[in-house]
Amino acid sequence: MQKRLTRAEVPVEMTWDLTRIFPNAEAWEAAMAAVEGEIGSVTRFKGKLGEGASTFLACLEAQEELHKRFIPVASYASLHLSADGTSSAYQASAARVGALSAKVQAATSFIQTEALALPGGTLERYLAEEPGLTDFRRTIELLLEQKPHVLGPETEVALASLSEVLGAPQMIYNRSKSSDMTFDPITDKDGIQWPMSFAVYEGRFEKDPDPVLRRNAYASFTKGLRAYKNTFAATWATEVKKNVVVARLRGYKSATDMILAEQEVTEDVYNGLHDIILKELAPHMRRYVELRKRVLGLDKILYCDIEAPLDPEYNPETTYEQASETILRGISVLGPEYAPIIDEGLRSRWIDLADNIGKSTGAFCSTVYGVHPYILITWTGSMRDALVLAHELGHAGQGVLALRYQRLANTRGSRFFSEAPSTINELLVAQDILDRSADRRMRRWVIMQLLATYYHNFVRHLIEGELQRRTYVLAEKGRPLTEAVLSKVQGEILEEFWGGVVEIDDGARLTWMRQPHYYMGLYPYTYSAGLTIGTAVAQAIREEGRPAVDRWLEVLKIAGTKKPLERAAMAGVDMTRPDAIRKAVAFVGSLIDEVVEGF
């Protein structure tokens, strides 16, 4: 049986270079102490925000400088923990950062309460009087929008002080998954034994062409999840209850209303994505799964068979170097400013490729102020990895351009928009591969990879979003979210979507245990928003060329200075109407048509 490596055994060239943030732990310790020492640079303005626009500007600038110092400190600890969650030292560092974050939030919470307690019209007058506040216009606008929901100074300080505790559900979930959860080894059709992990299951075994290995992995994975089902249910229920209680304290009509207000998205847009995609995409995806059953000769379709390769003998491999060339070719259409960002990321150890015990599952990108983005992915050698990496590099490109053109206060946009830059890159790279290949099998394989992306973002993540939509309603009514309730609702949603085509067994009903997104507000559904925007923009780039590219680059550069629906409109996509969603669903249907005809 192959042995999984510890972090210490991983070749250094497979890891990201965190020394660019801090050269060693001692430098990190010094920076952490400096952050704590700089809190006073902000709190010295407490009680003085009514003195005038220049004082208010100086306070906001001091807060921003404090954040510039804190972000690298927090990122250094977080990225180390993501690389090896089993390390007690990294766990301790992350806990210390959490405590420091709570201290910073509590100490600076006066800015919101004090600014909003100023006489009506004062902040607007400050904006008109002080040119330097123009850069903080969005900060001030967001403050004013939150005014009806801001509590008294003492309460806001208390809530900020409890931020580490309020974030505990996410920490407990991630810690359990990376450090405690184990899975039985599995065997393939030849009797060869393989080690199992959360990351390897989702990255490889769930899509393995060997039905014996795939289903054995699914059984092992389900068994491993089941051992934690009550703990994870209690953890998730705590997260939901926290949001329900905080929403009530702040006077929102519901937790959903509170989280959507933070995302700057209306309930109509939120509900429209769920209702249209889940209803209108289902027939297309059922047809695709039925094709899989026929072509692969399966007795039935289990949940683990949904992504089984339709052409098991054809799974193009690639090296990291080859994948880098493929990605750079695909995104070259975005021009001479954008492409060098991606090139540097691929060459300069921004990316952690290793598979080791304790490494976080999935893939993500985290942009560190003053340094560069960092990307986590588990590299398996499949061409699929090239598309996943292109996706994460889309986040990196957005992060670099945002910091290049905006001050820190304006770099973070709404989560609703965050998946658009990444999905566009993935679609551009896939389309470039299609354009350059005359091989029929390669074309079919690439289309199936695109369908895997649409399945992941339009189906899997939106079903997660639907589970959130339904369970938040239950929680608002006071119903306990036990394991039985979560598994029951999860099963009902899956059965509705798949309509009997896929067997919804106990393993499928436990899929609510698989995602950390549930602890990040209403995050899962935003993937469908990003893919809808990404599909429309990628098609516009293909049809219009440079004008569409220029629009898109401008959208990336403005970052958080505009609301997400405004940014989408700038890119030529109206997310307040169903047209773009239905066009994306129709595009998925056309891809499935081509695959079905090919078999």
What does the alpha-carbon distance between residue 418 and residue 395 come to, in Å, rounded to a whole number? 8
Domain of 142: which CATH number?
1.20.140.70
Give Dmax (Cα) for the chain: 77
Say yes or no: 17 and 135 in one domain. Answer: yes
Any domain includes 180: no
Query: Is 157 in the same domain as 232?
Result: no
- Chain segment 286-302, per-residue pLDDT in tens: 999 999 999 999 999 99
Question: What is the C-alpha separation between 257 and 246, in angstroms, rounded?
Answer: 12
Residues 418 and 524 in one domain: yes
Upper half-sphere CA count for residue 385 (Cβ side, 13 Å):
25
Q: Which residues pair with 356 in a beta bridge?
A: 5
Question: 513-548 burial, b for 16+ CB within 10 Å, e for fewer?
Answer: bbbebbbebbbbbbbbbbbbbbbbbbbbbeeeeeeb
**534 and 409 belong to one structural domain:** yes
* Residues 502 and 593 grouped into a single domain: yes
Q: How confident is the model at residue 362 (pLDDT cuts 50, 70, 90)?
A: confident
pLDDT tens digits, 203-218: 889 999 999 999 999 9
* Cα–Cα dist 326/225, whole Å: 36
The domain boundary, picked from 139, 166, 193, lies at 166
Residue 222 falls inside a structural domain: no
Q: Is 497 helix (H, G, I), strand (E, B) or coil?
A: helix
Whether 125 and 28 share a structural domain: yes
pLDDT, one tens digit per residue, over 428-441 is 999 999 998 888 89
End position of a domain, from candidates 132, 148, 166: 166
Bin 246: left if φ > 0, else alpha if -120 < ψ < 50, else beta: alpha
In a domain, 179, yes or no: no
Q: Which of 166, 190, 220 is the last residue of a domain?
A: 166
* Residue 599: band (very low, low, confident or very high) from pLDDT cuts 50, 70, 90: confident
DSSP lists the bridge partners of residue 510 as: none
pLDDT at 315: 85
CA distance 340 to 507: 44
Say if residue 2's pLDDT is above 80.
Answer: no
pLDDT tens-place string over residues 230-258: 999 999 999 999 999 999 999 999 999 99
Select from 348, 376, 391 the least CA-distant residue to 10: 376
Q: How confident is the model at residue 62 (pLDDT cuts 50, 70, 90)?
A: very high
SS3 of residue 373 by DSSP: strand
From 2, 68, 56, 61, select the one nearest 31 (Cα to Cα): 68
Tell me the two tokens of residue 558. Answer: 């403005």
502 within a domain of the structure (yes/no): yes
For residues 162 and 242, membership in a common domain is answered with no
**Which residues span the domain enclosing 508?**
228-348+382-599
Residue 446 is assigned to a structural domain of this protein: yes
**What CATH number should be reported for the domain holding residue 283?**
1.10.1370.20
Q: What is the mean pLDDT of residues 97-111?
A: 95
Between β-strands 193-194 and 186-187, what pairing exists: parallel, antiparallel or unpaired? antiparallel
The predicted-structure confidence for 527-539, as pLDDT tens digits, reads as follows 999 999 999 999 9
Asked whether residue 551 falls in the same domain as residue 451, the answer is yes
For residue 1, pLDDT over 70 is answered with no
Domain match, 406 and 334 both: yes
Asked if 387 and 299 sit in the same domain, the reply is yes
The reply to whether 571 and 475 lie within a common domain is: yes
Beta carbons of 272 and 462 less than 8 angstroms apart = no
Structure tokens at 59: 């306070």
- Rounded to an integer, the average pLDDT of 157-179 is 91
pLDDT more than 90, % of the chain: 92
Query: How many other β-carbons are positioned within 10 Å of the β-carbon of residue 80?
Result: 21
Q: Quick one: pLDDT at residue 199?
A: 82
Q: What is the DSSP string of 50-86?
A: GG-HHHHHHHHHHHHHHHHHHHHHHHHHHHHHHH-TT
205 lies in some domain: no
What pairing do the DSSP bridges indicate for beta strands 373-376 and 351-352? parallel
Q: Into how many domains does the chain fold? A: 2
State mean pLDDT over 491-496. 98
What gap in Å lies between CA 348 and CA 393, rounded to an integer?
Answer: 13
* Contact residues for 246 (Cβ-Cβ < 8 A; gap 6+): 159, 166, 255, 258
Mean pLDDT of the 141-154 span: 94
Residue 536 and residue 555 in contact, taking contact as beta carbons nearer than 8 Å: no
Given a cut of 70, is residue 418 above it in pLDDT? Answer: yes
Q: Name the phi and psi angles at 177, rounded to 5.
A: -70, -40
Buried b (16+ CB within 10 A) or exposed e, 85-124: bbbeebbebbeebbebbbbbbbbbbbbbbbbbeeeeebbe
Burial of 202 (0-12, 13-18, 19+ CB in 10 A): middle
> 133: pLDDT confidence band, cut at 50, 70 and 90?
very high
Query: How is residue 211 written in tokens?
Result: 């039905």
In a domain, 221, yes or no: no
Q: pTM score > 0.85 for this model?
A: yes
State whether 546 and 397 are in the same domain: yes
Question: Does position 312 have pLDDT exceeding 90, yes or no?
Answer: no
508-520 tens-digit pLDDT:
999 999 989 999 9
Q: Give me the helices (H) in 455-505, please.
A: 461-476, 483-498
In a domain, 64, yes or no: yes
Taking residues 95-109, what's their average pLDDT? 95
